[in-house]
Structure 1
Amino acid sequence: MEQAVERVLVECVPNFSEGRRPQVVRAIVEAIAGVSGVYLLDTESDEDHNRSVVTFAGPVEEVLEAAFRGVREAVRQIDLRHHQGGHPRIGAADVVPLVPIRGVTLRDLVPAAQRLGRRIAEELGVPVFLYGEAATSPRRRDLSFLRRGNFEGLQEAMDTDPERRPDFGPAAVHPSAGATVVGVRKPLIAYNVELATADLEVARAIARNVRESSGGLVNVRAMGVRLEKRGTTQVSMNLVDYEKTPIYRAFELVAAEARRHGVAIRSSEIVGLVPEDALLDCAEYYLQLGGTWSRRQILERRLNEVEGPR
């Protein structure tokens, strides 16, 4: 009897530097969704960040085609010379990560990221950097290093620092679309905590004490952001390995630092999709579940076990 072959499934979570013009975001999403075999999973836009995150999945080749079409539409529609927002960015299509979900590994996806990066550079004239598992040097693994100085400072960085020269395309910033970062990474959780203060320096101080690069939590990237429309501030975080540094640990440290500054937490949010186990980690922590507790007690999981594959 032949064994069933596991179907390869890849997630892609491109971040586009547009969160205020719905028609532009819609055009980008339609370009992505127009590829047969790709599943559009989620779209989220933030006006203060002026940024949109699109999540889709499918087989490798289909995902690469959809990612390219999304980047192409962003290059057509977004001009960074007129872009302002709270989130760092160097490109109209700022970052395009590939994430292994099923039947494929991080290492397997590196050649795919290279092919996508080369195509973006050759066909669209946008310089491309590789990051994460696809990075060509240790410093370039970190997205924040490649974004340093933003779009406005990128050309000078390319001219003066060999580590900031692109992997594909000319060492010249595209006049309106900047540059794009393509990479391979584990599932990442974009997690933000809103503070009950408009003082940006307080938010920045909390972020500084939370992020790994300043001696905070391993696997946490954090920055303080002003939310103009809400009249408040936010600690915006990327949890790059939730299995080692869970959501609740990041939240508790932000809360402790906020108390130290005499500031309350207004709310928190998850941007985009999140692995189920990451939320279960939080439930188990706050409910102090132990003893005989097992995740097999979750109704839907038990039903999936007894029903089997459908």
Structure 2
Amino acid sequence: MDFYHASKTMGNQSMLICCKFYISESRNRAALDVIEQASKLDPEAVVVNKFEDRAYNRSRYTLVSYVVHDSTGCPTYSPLQQAVLAMTGASFGAINLENHSGAHPRLGVVDDIIFHPLALASLDDAAWLARAVAADIGNRFQVPVYLYAAAHPTGRALDSIRRKLGYYRPNLMGSQWAGWALPELLPEKPDQGPSQVPRARGIVTVGARSWVATYNVPIMSSDVSVARRIAAMVSARGGGLPTVQTLGLVHGEDASTEIACMLLEPNQIGADRVHKRVEMLAAQEGLDVEKGYFTDFSPEMIIERYMKLITTSTTLD
């Protein structure tokens, strides 16, 4: 990083945006290497964490960079835009959805991209970036893109899009997802890109919202139907905890299961409450649970890691 870019980066640290970039692959090391190489094209967009889950055949990259505003306070630029576009192109070049299978649902090779404001950045900043990235992806790669949460005019929820598109229905052996299982012509017009789905690439969802925590609780059972029943009773949709979304999934080589949770308002309904409810419901089924785990760092830790990585890069250059 040269002096100009280092100075600009360090001067924008109060306006940060985090991007969580989910891809449908974790077993093909060569493909992941290509995607990770693409993430390094702009040193001002920094990968602060990655999470690979072999059973799910799914990975998530957490990137952070700054956002620049014009004199009126409107966002105009973020290094994340080109970094995410490069990673998307690399993903489409390295992964074929028709050859993919795993224990986690997905609609596309690049399954989901979500932007969160950090530090003094606003949700409007994140929504602007989400819309810009969605337009880039839809136009350049000719894939359908659906916007959600603050990136969409109505603020529609991600799970409502997924439900319409069959995301939650396994299509292989009752607990696995494989290939492309939906009609190529979509029932609902996407926000960007064509209405016809390229089977090798699938669909991309892009959103912006305040911080979402992902928290999983392993269940000591190989019966996925029990895990799904517990998951339904934990979720807001099933009358459980408000602002919590869940999936009961097969996880692990021994066909064990876990409750995968999205905590949409983690400061209101946190992991402790989720774990206690899962534990109570599992006990009613005569089952034990293992210690739950987050799949990413907290916003504070992400900012701290970003600052350390930027400082190290600046010092080395």
Where does residue 181 of structure 1 map in the other structure? 205
2:98 is aligned, of 67, 81, 85, to: 81
Contact 1:88 1:147 in 2 (8 A): no
3-state secondary structure, aligned to 2:35: helix
Closer/same/farther in 2, CA of residues 229 and 6 from structure 1, 3 Å limit: closer
What is aligned with 1:224?
248
Shift of 1:7: 3.1
Q: What letter corresponds to residue 47 of structure 2 in structure 1?
A: L
Q: Which residue in 1 is equivalent to 2:186?
A: 158
Structure 2, unmatched stretches of 5+, are 1-10, 68-77, 168-178, 302-317
Q: 1:276 to 1:247 in 2, by over 3 A?
A: farther
Q: Write the distance in 1 (CA, Å) between the matches of 2:185 and 2:246.
A: 23
Out of 121, 129, 144, which is 2:138 matched to? 121
Tell me the distance in 1 between the aligned counterparts of 2:162 and 2:106.
6
Distance in 2 between the 1:118 and 1:153 partners? 25
Deviation at 1:262, TM superposition (A): 0.5
Corresponding residue for 2:309?
Answer: none
Alpha-carbon shift at residue 82 of structure 1 (Å): 1.3
How high is the TM-score relative to the length of structure 2? 0.80
- Aligned-partner residue type, residue 166 of structure 1: P
Partner of 1:27: 34
1:9 positional shift: 0.9
Give the alignment's Cα RMSD to 1 decimal: 2.0
1:15–1:51 Cα contact (<8 Å) kept? yes
Give distance in 2, aligned partners of 1:175 and 1:49. 20
Of stretches 7-16 and 27-36 in structure 1, the one that deviates more from structure 2 is 27-36
Change (3 A) 1:102 1:157: farther
Q: Secondary structure at the match of 2:107?
A: coil
2-structure distance, mates of 1:62, 1:154: 34
**Against the structure 1 CA distance between its residues 183 and 5, is the aligned structure 2 distance closer, same or farther, given a 3 Å change threshold?**
closer
1:109 CA drift (Å)? 2.4
Confirm or deny: 8 A CA contact 1:195 1:267 kept in the other structure: no
Q: Of Structure 1 and Structure 2, which has the larger fraction of its residues in helix?
A: 1
Structure 1 residue 5, shift from structure 2 partner:
7.3
The aligned length equals 269
Per-residue CA distance 1:80-121 (angstroms, 9 max, x = gap): 111111111111011111110023211232222111111111
- Counterpart selection for 1:202 from 226, 234, 239: 226
Instruction: Quickly say closer, same or farther: Cα 1:9–1:179, change in 2 above 3 A.
Output: same
Per the alignment, residue 91 of structure 1 pairs with: 108
Percent of paired sites with the same residue = 27
1:260, distance to aligned residue in structure 2 (A) = 0.6
Does 2:152 correspond to 1:135?
yes
User: Do residues 106 (structure 1) and 134 (structure 2) align?
Assistant: no
The alpha-carbon distance between structure 1 residues 107 and 122, as it changes in their structure 2 partners (threshold 3 A), is same
Which one of 52, 59, 65 corresponds to residue 58 of structure 1? 65
Asked whether the equivalents of residues 126 and 209 of structure 2 are also in contact (C-alpha less than 8 Å), the reply is no
TM-score normalised to structure 1 length: 0.82
Instruction: Supply the AA of the counterpart residue of 2:20.
Output: V
Deviation at 1:274, TM superposition (A): 2.2
Alignment equivalent of 1:67, drawn from 62, 84, 91: 84
Aligned counterpart in structure 1 of residue 17 of structure 2, from 10, 25, 33:
10
Question: Following the alignment from structure 1 to structure 2, what is the Cα–Cα distance between the partners of residues 267 and 153?
Answer: 34
The structure-2 alpha-carbon separation of the partners of 1:276 and 1:254, relative to structure 1 and needing over 3 Å to count, comes to farther
1:54 is matched by which residue type in structure 2?
A: Y
Code of the aligned partner of 1:244: Q
Compared CA separation, residues 8 and 227, structure 1 to 2 (3 A): same
Q: Which has the higher contact order (CA 8 A, sep 6+)?
A: 2
Distance 1:246 1:71 in 2: 32
TM superposition shift of 1:190: 0.9
1:264-296 deviations in Å (ceiling 9; x for gaps): 01232211222459xxxxxxxxxxxxxxxxxxx
Q: 1:73 is paired with a residue of what secondary structure?
A: helix
Letter in 2 for 1:158: L
Residue 154 (structure 1) shift: 4.2
